[in-house]
Each structure stands twice: as C-alpha cells, then as structure tokens.
Amino acid sequence: MSLRYITRFAHYDAKTVEEATALLNKYGEKAKPIAGGTALMDILKKKYLPTPEAIVNLKTIPGLDQVTEDGGAIKIGALTKLVDLAESSVIKSKCPMIADAVNLISSPQLRNMGTVGGNLCQQVRCWYYVKADFFCYRKGGPVCYQPGGDNRYGAILQQKVCNAVIASDLATTFTALNASLKVEGPGGSRDVPIKDFYVTLGNTLKQGEIITWITIPEAPSKGSFKKFKIRKTWDFAVASAAVATTSKGTIAALGGVAPVVVSGTPDEVTSALGSATPLSMNKYKVQIAKTILKEAMA
Amino acid sequence: MGKRFVGDLTQFKDKMAQYGYSGLRYFGQRVDDVNGPGIVTGTIGWTFNVSLPGMLVGKLKRNPYGHAKITSIDTSKAERISGVVFVGTAKHPMFAGKLMFGDEPVLCDKEVWSNNDPVAIVAAETLEAAEDALDAIDVKYEELPVEMDPEAAASPSPSVVQKSPPPNKQGRPNCFTYVPLIYGDLDKEMAASDVTVEMNPELPPDPHGTPAPMSAVAVWNGDGSISVWDDVQNIHAVPWPTVAGMVGLAQEMVHFHGPEVCAGGFGGKNAGIAGVYAAMLTIITHRPARVLYDRTEGLLHVSRPNWKWKIKIGAKKDGTLTAIQATAYIGGPYGRFLGGLLERARNGITGSYRWKAVKYDGYASYTNAQNTLSYRGYSSPETCYAVELAIDELAKKLGMDNLDLRLKNYLNEGERNAMNEIFRSMGEPGVAKKIREFMDAWGPKPSVPDPWVVGRGFSGGNKYTQGTMITNTAHLKFKGNGTVEIITDSMDLGTGLNTVWRQFVAEGLNIPIEKTVKLEVNTDYAPFTTCSYSSMATFHGGYALVNATMNAKKLLFANAAPILKAKPEDLETKDGKIMVKGKPEGAIPWSQAFPAIPGQPGPAEELMVSGGIYAPDDYQGPGKMDPATSQCLGPYFRSVLFHSHQANAAEVFVNKETGEVRVNKWAGGCDLIPANPTNVEGQLEGGSLVMGLGTTLTEARWQDKGMYLGKSYLDWKIPTVMDIPKVDNVDTALVPVWGEAHGDNPRIDAPFGAKGTAEGVQAPTAPCIANAVADAIGVRLTTIPFTPDVILKALGKA
Ligand SMILES: Cc1cc2nc3c(=O)[nH]c(=O)nc-3n(C[C@H](O)[C@H](O)[C@H](O)COP(=O)(O)OP(=O)(O)OC[C@H]3O[C@@H](n4cnc5c(N)ncnc54)[C@H](O)[C@@H]3O)c2cc1C
Ligand code: SF4
C-alpha cells in the first residue's frame, strides 16, 4: 500500500516508432520510454534516479506485440508482454527454453504487464543502487559500495567500476540464442547482436533509440534455461544459465554473475567461471553458477 | 490434505454439559471466521479505512544512517511548499519528549541511533505536498561509528558507548538490563555430567512484516478531547496511556478506538506509536490527521532484536539432563521491551525440561540495530532455538533417540521447575509423541537424486503465558430480543478472536453464535480486558467472558425462579429461554427475568452483566521472586500463568551443490483444548510453518554500517506459496491437555480448558528445521537464516 508520491512529468502516447523516437530525441537524457512500466514505476516511486521530464508510452504503437516465424528465424516484437511470449505457440513449439525462462521471471502479475523490451532494458537491482540514500558510481557518484559493504548478491566476474549484476533473464536467454536486436532511432534503424548490446554501466542505446524487434536467427535443436534464486517466485537470479545448440554450434550464457551477460562456448564460459573473482561475501555464487551451468548443458 | 488430528473431546463434552454449558454445541467447533468475508473484501473496519473530511497527511522524515550526529535541520524550504500546513522538529515542545521507556526521542535533534529514526514531521493537505516537504527538509549529519553486535556492545569496554550517561549495568557501559537465573550447583552438576554439548546459536533481527504497516487517525474535538483510531493489538495496556501521556491529556480526554481487526500484529503493533504522532498533529493543527507508514517504514520501524546465545548443557549416560548454562545477548537502539525479553527467556529455559542446575545471564545493551518491539513469542522461539539445538546434539552424542531423551526429561504436571514454580498444563509429552507418530508414518526417508540429500528433524517447544496485567473485565449486554453484545478490549489480529469470543459466550449461555455480537473496542465503554499479546487473549478474555455468563445466569435464574416456581439451581437456559431443567414446555424468555427498574412495573429493556478478574490464588501469591536468582519464593508463587507446548517435525531436501533447502514435509502440533480447531490449524500452518520457515531459511536484515539494505519485500525474502510444502505434506495435531496430562484441572470452567496458541507455535519451527538440515548435511549450523551461502560454506564449497 505504498502511496509514494510521484514527481510530475509530461506523458506522451506515441502512435508510431518515429513519433516515439522523435520525442525521446527531443528531450534527450530527460526522457524515458515506458512499456509495461513495472520496472520504471519503481524508479519513479523510490526516486533513486532522477524522475524524467517526459515519459513516452510505447504501448500505443501498434504491431510491436507479435511473435512470428520468418523462415527459420523467430521474430519477437519488443512490446510483447512476457505472458504472451511464454504462451506463444511459436515459442512453445520452436523454442520452449524462452517460455521456461519467462515463467521464472518475477510473478504472474508482473508478467501480465511487463514487456520483452522493458525486460531487456531494465536497470540493475543492486541494493545500494535502488536506494536514494546511496549515490554510487553507477549513478555518477564517487564510489561503488559493494566491495566494502554487503556484496552477497554482487558480481563474481568482469567487475570493473561496478559490481552489480545484469537482472534480465531474457538477456541471458537471448544471448545463448544469438539474438539480434532491431534498434530504431532518429538516425534510422540498426541491428545490434545482443552480445554487443550490454556494457558495464548499461546498454549501447543512443539518444532517442528504442528496441523494436528481437530476432532469433535459428531455433535451437537443443536449448535450456536454468535459474537459481533464493525464493521460488518473485525473485531475481543469484545466477542463471542458458545454453542453446544450433547448426552454428553451442552458446552458453550466464546471467546474474556480472554486470553484463557472460557468454561463449560452453568451454569458454566454464573456464571463465574457473577464474572467477568473487567479492568478500559471494564465493558461493561461483559454486551455484557452476552447478546450474552444468545443469543447463546436460 | 495431510493429517488433521484433533484430540477426542467426548469426556470434556459431557463435563461441559454437566456444568450447565451447551456441551460443546459452540465451543470446540469449526465455526467460520465471522470476519472472513469482510477481510477478503476489504470492508472490515481496518484502521487505514478510517477517513475524516479535511484530514491532513502526516509523514515523518527519517534518518538514513545507522548512527549519526545531527549537525543541522533546516525546514524553511519545506514550510513554504504549497499545501504544507505544519512542519515540526524536536524544537517544538510537542515533539521534545521521549517515548516508551524514556530513552527514545519523539523526534531526534542531536543524535540518531538507528536507521529510520524520525527527525522531523510534516502535516500537509495531500500526500504529494507532504512528500515534497520531506524532500525539502535539509538535515545534515555527521556519521558516527556503529555497533551492531549485542555481545560486543555488552563488553565492559565497548568500542562505542551509545548513551550519556551510560546505563552501565554489571559494569558494562551499554548494558541497560541484566537478568540472572541461578538454580542448583552448576559447577557440580556439569562436572558430574557424562556428556556435554556447547554451542553459540544466533538469530539475527527479523521484522514483523505485518500485512499492513502501522496507521492511525486522530481528530481534535471541540471540547479539548481527541479521538484516536490506531491499528493496535490492544488499547488499554500501552497505546492509550502512551498517547495520552505524550500529548499531556488525561486519559479520559483521549477517546481511543481499536480496529475491528488489527491488520497483522505479531507483537509489532503493541505500542501504537503512529497514534502518538497523529494525536500530536491534530492537537497542533486542530484538523484531523492521519499517519500511515509506507511499506519501507513498515519493515523498518520494528523487528525482533539480534539474539546471540552461548549455551552448554550436560547429561548423564542414561540421558538424564543435569545442567544448563546459557548466556543471552540482545540489543537495540532503545530499551523498548528488551528487558522483558530477557526475563521471559528464563521461562523458555525452564518451561520444558527438568534441570538439576541452571545458570542463565541475559544482557540487553544499546546497539545501532533496527528498533525493536515484542515479536511473536517474545523470547520463546529464540530461547527454544538455543535449547532444542543443544538437546538434538546431546541425543546424538548419547546415541539416544531424541524423542526418548526428551520424554525422559520433560517436567511432570504439578512438579516444581528450575524457577521453583509449580508446573501447570503440561502437554508436551503428548504433543511430542503425536508429532513423532506423524513423522514415523511418513515412512523411510525417500531416495532423492544426487546432489540432493534428505534430512529429518524434530523439536519440542514451549511458550509461557504471562499473568501480569490480568485484571480483566468483560461486559455482556443482554438485549430484549435475545441478542448478547460483547464488550471487551483485545483485538482480533486476523487470528479469529472475534469468532472465538462469540463461541465462549454462545457456549456459556447456550445460544447460537449468531445471537452474539462483539462491539467496537474503544476506551469509551470497553473495560480493561487483557490484551492480544503473550498468547493470552483467549485464556484471560475467555475467562472474563465465561465468568460474565456465569454471573448473568445467576442473576437471571434468581429472577426467573419465582416465575417458574422452581429453585434457581433447578433452572437451565437454552436459546435465550429459561426453563426448569429438562422441561422446555414452560420456558420463559430471558427478557422476562431482566431485573426491574426500581419504581417501574415490568423488567428493564436491557441487562448489563460484567465478569472477569482472574486472580487464581496460586498465581503470584503469596510470595515473590528473588531478583538475584529468579527463584520463585513462596508456596504457590509463579512467574507465569501456564505454559503451552508444541512440537514440530520436518523433512528437508538440501542440494549440496547449490545450498538450496526445501522443506518437503512438515508436522506441527500444540497442547490445548481448541476453542476452534480451524483457527488453531491456521496458526500452525501460518504461524509455525510459514513464518517459522521464513525466519529459518530466507528472511534476514542485511545491513551495511547500520543502514538496512532489505527495505522492500523483494530483498526481505518472506516465503511465498511456492516456498512451502504442498498441503498434502502438512500434518497438524491439536492434543488436549485435559485428562491424562492435566489431571483434574480445577479451572475446567475457566475458560473451558482453552489456552493461547498464537505465538508458541513458532517456538519449535526454527530448531526443527535446523535439526533436519544438520541431519541432511551432517554439519551443525547454528546461525539462521540458512541461505545458500551458509549451507555451501558449511560444506566447504564457498
Ligand atoms: C518484483 C520484481 C521482480 C522481478 N523479477 C525479475 C526476474 O526474476 N527476472 C527478470 O528478468 N526480470 C524481473 N523483473 C523485471 C521485470 O521482468 C521487468 O519489470 C519487466 O520485464 C519490464 O518490462 P516493462 O515493460 O514493464 O518495462 P518498463 O518498466 O516499461 O521499462 C523498463 C525500462 O526499459 C525501458 N524500455 C522499455 N521498453 C523499451 C524499449 N522497447 N526500448 C528501449 N527501452 C525500453 C524503460 O525506459 C525503462 O527504463 C522483476 C521486476 C519486479 C518489479
Ligand atoms: S555495484 Fe554498481 S550499482 Fe551497486 S553500488 Fe556499486 S556502482 Fe552502484
């Protein structure tokens, strides 16, 4: 029953991708797109990041909530609700590991609202970051609180300036599936392989850009998603692992262990875990990640 | 559905009929919760549903640090925000006082000792304006070092001395309460033990996580009085005097209203502090004001304190227990009820087993941990955790079955325990045997695929029910139409108390439940009845109500006797009529037997009868407690009214590669005559299994330098429906203490053999799961919660 007050902002219902990107470009840093709002509302209520001046609603853009087959590829509209993704006949028949992943995300209520694009673009959940009381490095502050603080849920690999872990389970899943993202912005559209999409402090979207489609080039002949969390529902991954095999080979991906998805061949990822660099309190995550990676590869 | 055992009450049923009650037509029955539909539709009289025209929104500005000096507070910007009516700090005389035990500022102005301490208050026309004002208040702090560890805080030379002047109990600067218990010759008995077990169990803070956070509404009345609605567990004992005292009004000038159902308490709503702030705001502004904590405040404003134990127990080769030495350290930023916790821990140590020697030392010290308040069981779960872990290890060392070890050492009914109290209402052997029987019926441990392993655990438990503040009164108002209104204090906390009290009255008067109504709990007409804490509402309130029905019958039968031409003792009552025993033909309605108003021809329209004041002569008198040893001196003196007893069994699956713990099967039981078996099963499933499982496996208060990190339900991991065993794997047992274990209970009629259940059910849960985990992985873990990192560390994998 939180009744927290939300600071005022301008709200636009975009009718087309062009309109959305033009508006976002106009406001620049001070605008945010909104899809299901399940992640953005948390920021607006708890105010751990500045409230945007403008919010551009993408849900009013028609056509971006489809899941289709295109030759051997699967195309997923960025505004597809998580529940619809899990229930899509294309996904169930061609790539059930996506449905497995979705069904382990948050809760049924949140999956009814949350979208694929929003899931991929959600912020990290580091418990220092999500509190207005801590002005950490990722917010532009001078320090990362995790190394000297409570880092039980922090990164065990590829920590640089920030020790938070990527929160999106779909990012892990799509990385194993070698997906590419269609990104549209004021300068037109471009395709970004998902493994190049994430960087330590966020993603590579430029001003005014949004994700419109996700393409999985080839349905895997074998694929699996595993997730370990403290609580069986309504919880983020302590570690997640996705492994998918196509005609091009097998890709393994780990989520919840680094600021970005860690991916490569199963051997590469296994050996990355072998030289993990856990923080003072989270060596256990290495053990868990190894175990679920093995399970996903089985 | 798993097994549902409810002990046979036939013998009791006949006795109840003989005593002139309905013979269990209403009591002991599965009566549906009268508030059920209102609770699920949200229409019940929750405090947060109280809304008055022109009501202001009150909000508190809270401190983010664990411990800090306040160097300045600037409210000027906040005052200028449109819609803001009032901004207050400790400079305002209304907010300059101290709460509770006099060490807790209403608003802090020089120093803050705990994350969430309030430093300023705002009243505004809207929530928006109030929140803007909070943001605009500029508080400058200078962080100070924190001490979170209650043992380190209790040191004779602590690194942080919290208060000036320091309380300095036992030469320990931060220690404000010390409680000892000395019985027998500890050194001799330890030395004579063949086997000893030593361990340091620890339970970190865990918030109550009530379904709704605290809320209160207050309004200034034109005559200088105020009315307060507060979401509390009781009104008379703490909230009413606290609010009146803090705003400087005579209690009569504060009209205090409780909720129809308190929106979850678990001890966290015993003080009603939100009502203090709402009352202050309405007196200052002369406008109605609401103070409603948000979810974060709900998780941060109170919690169980951190408990650190050092325990050693001994036994002879044959399993006879010899001695126990236990030291408890607890702490918090303010005294609150911490001292009482240490006193009650004595009852946990002495409430199940026969010891030849006991030495207990309890220290409560100032730390910078989260603020505290009574938490479900008020020391019983935490004490039983320490004792039952040690008993389990002892059984292993002795090579003895852990139930046999327990049965050998349980106290007997009527025996004196290590506090020299005569032990009453001892049902633990019966419950323990029943729960073990359930566990045995699960068959051999299932085989599970590698890397899973299976473990089974068992634990007993006890919970005292206190008898202080036992001056209970209950009023019954008989209406001419056969309805009876119940007027008492004590809140239903979602436990079903509103239903159970109707059952008491229906049973006592032999009338249908539908003919009884419980009126709003408020100080204008409700008498001081016992409160919904210490698992005492059913027992004490029930006693008062049964006593009122007895008084009513005496009066009605005396008046009816001449009309029915019979002696009062030959009369009986049923369904609102009075008749000669066994002769329903000539029955007259109650209303004809209402006393006449002097000078008037017929009987009065209504009849008001009171009952209560439970003061059995073997409780607290004659005698006293020796403060140096905690021994009860005097033939009958006792520190508690009675104990309730519980047992749990659990089967857990532990994954040795990920550290995951799953409770697969569970059985829980308690000893009592159930007023309403469904309610008791609800307590077992919700309070023992779910709440106990959460605190044992997932819930904890992670913090960094006293700044709490789990401020939402995402990070404070209360279990969900997916985290508990399926309903087929959950067995419950309600084992009557009437009969074999209870002997000829002189209190059959008061109150029908019922005793409290609510808190105690959690006492055996954490130790039971801990014992099961130890059985599964072969390593004894002592600090809850057993999160994956803890399990993997124990297995040498992290
Ligand atoms: C309690 C809780 C538990 C959760 N548990 C999990 C979990 O276990 N696993 C998991 O993966 N997720 C989890 N989530 C996250 C949840 O899945 C996301 O909230 C949801 O998927 C986001 O979708 P949305 O449409 O509501 O996003 P929004 O809230 O609308 O947006 C999220 C962010 O993405 C941006 N955005 C939205 N759409 C686009 C787009 N098309 N292009 C570019 N930017 C865009 C927004 O500007 C915003 O910054 C949890 C969330 C909550 C609240
Ligand atoms: S891990 Fe990243 S998000 Fe968390 S405190 Fe450090 S910099 Fe901030």
Q: Is the backbone of residue A37 left (phi > 0), alpha (psi -120 to 50) or beta?
A: left
Contacts of B681 (CB under 8 A, 6+ apart): B4, B732, B734
Residue of A nearest to B786 (CA): A230
CB B213 within 8 A of CB B297: yes
The Cβ-side half-sphere exposure at B280, using a 13 Å CA radius, reads 32
B205 touches chain A (CB under 8 A): no
Residue of B nearest to A281 (CA): B789
Q: Residue B580's pLDDT band (boundaries 50, 70, 90)?
A: very high
Contact A232 B793 (CB under 8 A): no
Dihedral angle sign, alpha carbons of residues B104, B107, B109, B114? positive
Average pLDDT along chain A: 96
CB contacts, 8 Å: B64 with chain A: 133
Of B254, B214, B265, B197, whose CA–CA distance to B492 is shortest? B265
Check residue B15 and give its pLDDT: 81
Q: Quick one: angle between helices B338-350 and B380-398, nearest 10?
A: 30
B35 touches chain A (CB under 8 A): no
Contact A1 B659 (CB under 8 A): no
**How many CB pairs below 8 Å do chains A and B form together?**
91
Classify B19 as helix, strand or coil. Answer: coil
pLDDT digits (tens, 9 = 90+) for B298-322: 999 999 999 999 999 999 999 999 9
Of B237, B791, B278, B798, whose CA–CA distance to B537 is shortest? B237
CB B235 within 8 A of CB B227: no
Q: Could you say which of A5, A231, A287 has the minimum Cβ distance to residue B698? A: A231
Check residue B739 and give its pLDDT: 40
- Would you tell me how many other CB atoms lie within 10 Å of the CB of residue A267? 10
Mutational pocket test of ligand 1: of A61, A110, A113, A225, the residue with most ligand atoms within 8 Å of the beta carbon: A110
Ligand 1 pocket, residues with Cβ under 6 angstroms = A 32-40, 42, 58, 78, 82, 105-106, 110, 113-115, 117-119, 121-122, 167-170, 210-211, 234, 236; B 714
Instruction: Assess whether the region B47-62+68-144+208-300 and the region B306-467+623-794 belong to the same CATH fold.
Output: no
Of B652, B662, B659, B451, whose CA–CA distance to A286 is shortest? B659
Which class is domain A3-60?
alpha beta
Note the Cα B315 to chain centre separation in Å.
Answer: 33
Residue spans of alpha helices (H) in B399-513: 402-409, 428-441, 497-509
Residues in chain A: 298
Q: Residue B533's pLDDT band (boundaries 50, 70, 90)?
A: confident
Q: B60 pLDDT exceeds 60?
A: yes
E strands within A2-66? 10-13, 31-34, 54-57
**Cα A82 to ligand 1 centroid, rounded to whole Å:** 10
Query: Which strands, in side-by-side order, build the sheet including B84-88?
Result: B84-88, B118-124, B56-62, B289-292, B215-220, B226-230, B254-257
Burial class of residue A71, CB neighbours in 10 A (0-12, 13-18, 19+): exposed
Of B355, B345, B354, whose CA–CA distance to B310 is shortest? B345
Q: Could you say which of A232, A281, A283 has the minimum Cβ distance to residue B722? A: A232
- Chosen for mutation from B656, B715, B786 (greatest number of chain A CBs closer than 10 Å) is B715
pLDDT digits (tens, 9 = 90+) for A14-60: 999 999 999 999 999 999 999 999 999 999 988 999 999 999 999 99
pLDDT digits (tens, 9 = 90+) for B84-134: 999 999 999 999 999 998 999 999 999 999 999 999 999 999 999 999 999
Give B363's strand partners. Answer: B178, B329
Dihedral angle sign, alpha carbons of residues B386, B387, B393, B397? positive
Average pLDDT along chain B: 93
User: Where do we find the tokens 């206190």?
Assistant: B466
pLDDT digits (tens, 9 = 90+) for B136-187: 999 999 999 999 999 999 999 999 999 999 999 999 999 999 999 999 999 9
- Chosen for mutation from B292, B655, B660 (greatest number of chain A CBs closer than 10 Å) is B660
Question: In whole angstroms, what is the distance from residue A213 CA to residue A182 CA?
Answer: 5
Question: In whole angstroms, what is the distance from residue B341 CA to residue B614 CA?
Answer: 24
Q: B722 to chain A, minimum CA–CA distance in Å? A: 6
Check residue B535 and give its pLDDT: 85
Of B82, B89, B87, B88, whose CA–CA distance to B129 is shortest? B82
Q: B260 pLDDT exceeds 80?
A: yes
User: Where do we find the tokens 């009338």?
Assistant: B511
Give B463's strand partners. Answer: B644
How many secondary structure helices (H) and strands (E) does chain A include? 10, 14
pLDDT digits (tens, 9 = 90+) for B428-471: 999 999 999 999 999 999 999 999 999 999 999 999 987 655 56
- C-alpha angle A70/A74/A77, rounded to 5°? 100
pLDDT digits (tens, 9 = 90+) for A241-282: 999 999 999 999 999 999 999 999 999 999 999 999 999 999
Mutational pocket test of ligand 2: of A48, A126, A199, A236, the residue with most ligand atoms within 8 Å of the beta carbon: A126
Check residue B468 and give its pLDDT: 56
Question: In whole angstroms, what is the distance from residue B298 CA to residue A68 CA?
Answer: 46
Six token digits for residue B72: 């300045």
Mutational pocket test of ligand 1: of A29, A53, A121, A228, the residue with most ligand atoms within 8 Å of the beta carbon: A121
**Cα A7 to ligand 2 centroid, rounded to whole Å:** 24
Query: Domain ranges in chain A?
Result: 3-60
CB contacts, 8 Å: B214 with chain A: none
* DSSP conformation class of B739: B
pLDDT digits (tens, 9 = 90+) for A149-188: 999 999 999 998 999 999 999 999 999 999 999 999 999 9
Classify B279 as helix, strand or coil. Answer: helix
Contact B722 A133 (CB under 8 A): no
Contacts of B194 (CB under 8 A, 6+ apart): B314, B315, B316, B317
Question: In whole angstroms, what is the distance from residue B104 CA to residue B98 CA?
Answer: 5
Check residue B613 and give its pLDDT: 66
CB B283 within 8 A of CB B92: no
User: Where do we find the tokens 């956070």?
Assistant: B213
- Chosen for mutation from B215, B709, B722 (greatest number of chain A CBs closer than 10 Å) is B709
Of B385, B404, B408, whose CA–CA distance to B459 is shortest? B385
E strands within chain A? 10-13, 31-34, 54-57, 67-70, 73-77, 180-185, 188-193, 198-199, 202-203, 210-216, 222-228, 239-246, 249-255, 262-264
Q: What does each C-alpha distance from B796 to A281, A289, B320, B527, B656 come to in angstroms?
A: 14, 16, 35, 59, 10
Q: Quick one: angle between helices B273-285 and B239-247, nearest 10?
A: 30
Check residue B619 and give its pLDDT: 58
pLDDT digits (tens, 9 = 90+) for B729-768: 999 999 988 543 334 443 444 577 788 888 999 999 999 9
Mean pLDDT of B678-687: 96
Note the Cα B527 to chain centre separation in Å.
Answer: 21
Classify A104 as helix, strand or coil. Answer: coil
Q: Which fold has domain B47-62+68-144+208-300?
A: Aldehyde Oxidoreductase; domain 3 (3.90.1170)
- Give Rg (Cα) of chain B: 27
Mean pLDDT of A92-113: 97
CB contacts, 8 Å: B451 with chain A: 291
Contact A3 B127 (CB under 8 A): yes
The Cβ-side half-sphere exposure at B469, using a 13 Å CA radius, reads 20
Mutational pocket test of ligand 1: of A43, A106, A125, A238, the residue with most ligand atoms within 8 Å of the beta carbon: A106
CB B254 within 8 A of CB B279: yes
CB B675 within 8 A of CB B734: no
Residue spans of alpha helices (H) in B109-193: 127-136, 150-153, 186-191
- Would you tell me how many other CB atoms lie within 10 Å of the CB of residue B394? 22
The secondary structure of B459-478 as a DSSP string is: EEEEEEE--SS---EEEEEE
E strands within B634-719? 642-655, 661-671, 703-704, 707-708
Give A254's strand partners. Answer: A241, A262
pLDDT digits (tens, 9 = 90+) for B625-666: 999 999 999 887 888 878 899 999 999 999 999 999 999 999
B706 touches chain A (CB under 8 A): no
B638 vs A236, residue with greater confidence: A236
Q: What does each C-alpha distance from B755 to A63, A78, B276, B486 come to in angstroms?
A: 63, 59, 33, 20
**Cα A202 to ligand 2 centroid, rounded to whole Å:** 12
User: Where do we find the tokens 């055996």?
Assistant: B764
Question: In whole angstroms, what is the distance from residue B357 CA to residue B184 CA?
Answer: 4
The secondary structure of A196-234 as a DSSP string is: GTEETTEE-PPTT-EEEEEEESS--SEEEEEEE-SSSSS
CB B128 within 8 A of CB A5: yes
Element (H, E) at A97: helix A96-102
Contact A288 B788 (CB under 8 A): yes
Q: What does each C-alpha distance from A279 to A154, A255, B382, B790 come to in angstroms?
A: 7, 17, 32, 15
Which class is domain B306-467+623-794?
alpha beta
Question: In whole angstroms, what is the distance from residue B743 CA to residue B733 CA?
Answer: 21
Question: In whole angstroms, what is the distance from residue B92 CA to residue A98 CA?
Answer: 60
Q: Could you say which of A5, A234, A291 has the minimum Cβ distance to residue B658? A: A291
Query: Domain ranges in chain B?
Result: 47-62+68-144+208-300, 306-467+623-794, 469-615
Widest Cα–Cα separation across chain B: 88
* DSSP conformation class of B250: -
Looking at domain B469-615, its CATH architecture is 2-Layer Sandwich (3.30)
Q: Residue B620's pLDDT band (boundaries 50, 70, 90)?
A: low
